[in-house]
Amino acid sequence: MKLQQVKIYHLKMPMNFTFTTSFGSMDEKELLVIEATDEDGTVGYGECVAFVAPWYTEETVKTSLHMLEDFLIPMLLGKVLHHPDEVSELFSSIRMNNMAKASIEGAIWDIYCQQTKQSLAQALGGEKTCIDVGIAIGLQPTKEALLQAVKHAIDQGYGRIKVKIKPGADIEVIKTIRQVYKDVPLMADANAAYTLDDIEHLQQLDAYQLLMIEQPLAYDDIVEHATLQRALKTPICLDESIHSLADVKRAVMLGSCQIINVKIGRVGGLTEARKIHDYCYEKNIPIWCGGMLEAGIGRAHNVALTSLPQFTLPGDNSGSAHYWAQDIITPEVEMKDGKITVPTTPGIGYHINKEALAKYTISTKTYK
C-alpha cells in the first residue's frame, strides 16, 4: 500500500432525535469522512467521530482537521505500508488526538481488506456472523417521555437498554424503568458526572440489578474509580478514561472497573482496539463496543470490531435508521430482533451512498 491521495469531507447531518447527556444536548452531528486512495486506485473510507465541542474528550472536528492536515496525512502520503498495524506505530510520535488518528487508520484498514479480499471483520479476527446490539437513551424531559423511549426501544427489539443519568436524574430514572420493566437488561451512563462525595448516593443503584454503571467519575480518572468500585456491587465500566491498552491494564491493576467500553476513535484506531480485545480475552474481562452517534462508515467499523469474540456484551451500535433520516452508506446498517448481521464482502462491507454524502457535505479538501 502507498497512499496517493486523501480527501476529507466535512459533513453536517441532522439527527432523528435530540440526544441529552450530563453535558448538554445534540440534535445534529458534524463529522469528517476520510476517503483515502491507494496508488493502485483502491479507495478506503474512515470516519472521524469527534464532536464540534470537546465535552466528551479533548478532540473536536476542528482539532481533528488540524491534526490530519498538518501531521497525520503528511506522515502517510507516499509511504509504503505492508499492514494497517504499521499506522499506529507510525503515529506513536504524536501524543493523543486518537479520533483523528483512528479516522485515517480506518480508511487504510478498508483499503487493506479490499486488496486482500477479506471483510474487515475477518481481517480483525472476528468470528460472529451477527452481533447483539443495545441502544443508548439520552436524558428525557419527563417520566412519560423516558418510559415511552424505553418502550419504543424494547418494541424494536433492542436487547439492552442504556440510559444516561446525572445528579438529580439518576435513582428516580432507574427506579421508574425498573418498576415497569423488571428484567430488561439495563445500565446507566453518567458521563463523568459524579465525585467520590457521591458514594452513598450511588450505592442506591445497587438495588436495581444494573448490568453496569458507565464512567461515574471524572473523565480522566482511573484511581478514584477503584475506590468507588470497592463500595459498589454494580460493576463499573470505564469509557472516557480509556485511551489505550496501557490504560486498560492500569484499570485492571487497580480494580477500577469490571467492564471496558471500547471505542475505536477514543483508543486511536482498530489496531489498538484489537490489542485491548486480545488482552481482555486473555483476562476474561467483558468488553463492548461504544458508540459516538456515528454515520454509516464509523458504524460499519464498529460492526466489524464487535464480531470479535470478547465483545460479549451488546454495544451502543444501533441501526442507521435510529439516528438518521438517510445514512451515507448503502445498504444502511440494519438492526433486526436486536441483531446486526456482520457483512462478509471485502472491506467495510457497505458502499458509500455518494448522493447522500454530497447532500450532507459542507466542505471538502484534497491532499496529494
Binding site for ligand OSB (CB under 6 A): 56, 136, 189, 191, 239, 290-293, 316, 318
Question: Which entry of 29, 101, 166, 263 is annotated as an active-site residue?
Answer: 263
Name which of ligand OSB, Mg ion, none residue 293 binds, using a CB cut-off of 5 to 8 Å depending on partner kind: ligand OSB
Least separation in angstroms between CB 91 and ligand OSB: 23
By beta-carbon proximity to Mg ion, the closer residue of 76 and 232 is 232
136-160: burial string, b at 16+ Cβ within 10 Å, e else: bbbbbeeeeebbebbeebbebebbb
CB of 252 to Mg ion, least distance (A): 19
Task: Show contacts with Mg ion in window 226-255 (CB under 5 A).
Answer: 239
User: What residue 56 binds from Mg ion, ligand OSB, none (CB within 5 to 8 A, per partner kind)?
Assistant: ligand OSB
Task: Give the nearer residue to ligand OSB in terms of CB position, either 56 or 194.
Answer: 56
Q: List the one residue out of 289, 365, 272, 294 whose CA is nearest residue 46.
A: 294
Tell me the Cα Rg of the chain. Answer: 20
| CB 108 within 8 Å of CB 87 | yes
The cell for 211 is 448490568
Confirm whether 164 is a catalytic residue.
Answer: yes
Give yes or no: 143 in active site. no
> For residues 1 and 102, which CB has a smaller minimum distance to ligand OSB in the complex?
102
By CB under 5 A, name the one of 38, 214, 272, 294 that touches Mg ion: 214
- How far apart are CB 55 and ligand OSB at their closest, in Å? 8
Q: How far is the CB of 220 from ligand OSB (least distance, A)?
A: 14
Q: At its nearest, how many Å lie between ligand OSB and the CB of residue 355?
A: 24
187 or 342: whose CB is closer to ligand OSB?
Answer: 187
Under the binding rule (CB under 5 A), the answer on residue 30 touching Mg ion is no
Q: Select 37 or 302, whichever has its Cβ closest to ligand OSB.
A: 302
Residue whose entry in the numeric block shows the C-alpha cell 454515520: 295
Question: From CA 127, how far away is CA 105, in angstroms rounded?
Answer: 22
Catalytic residue among 12, 164, 233, 283: 164
Q: Which one among 38, 105, 189, 221 touches Mg ion, defined by CB under 5 A?
A: 189
Please list, in sequence order, all residues whose beta carbon lies within 8 angstroms of the beta carbon of residue 154, skipping any fewer than 6 positions away.
161, 181, 184
Binding site for Mg ion (CB under 5 A): 189, 214, 239
Q: Active-site positions?
A: 164, 263
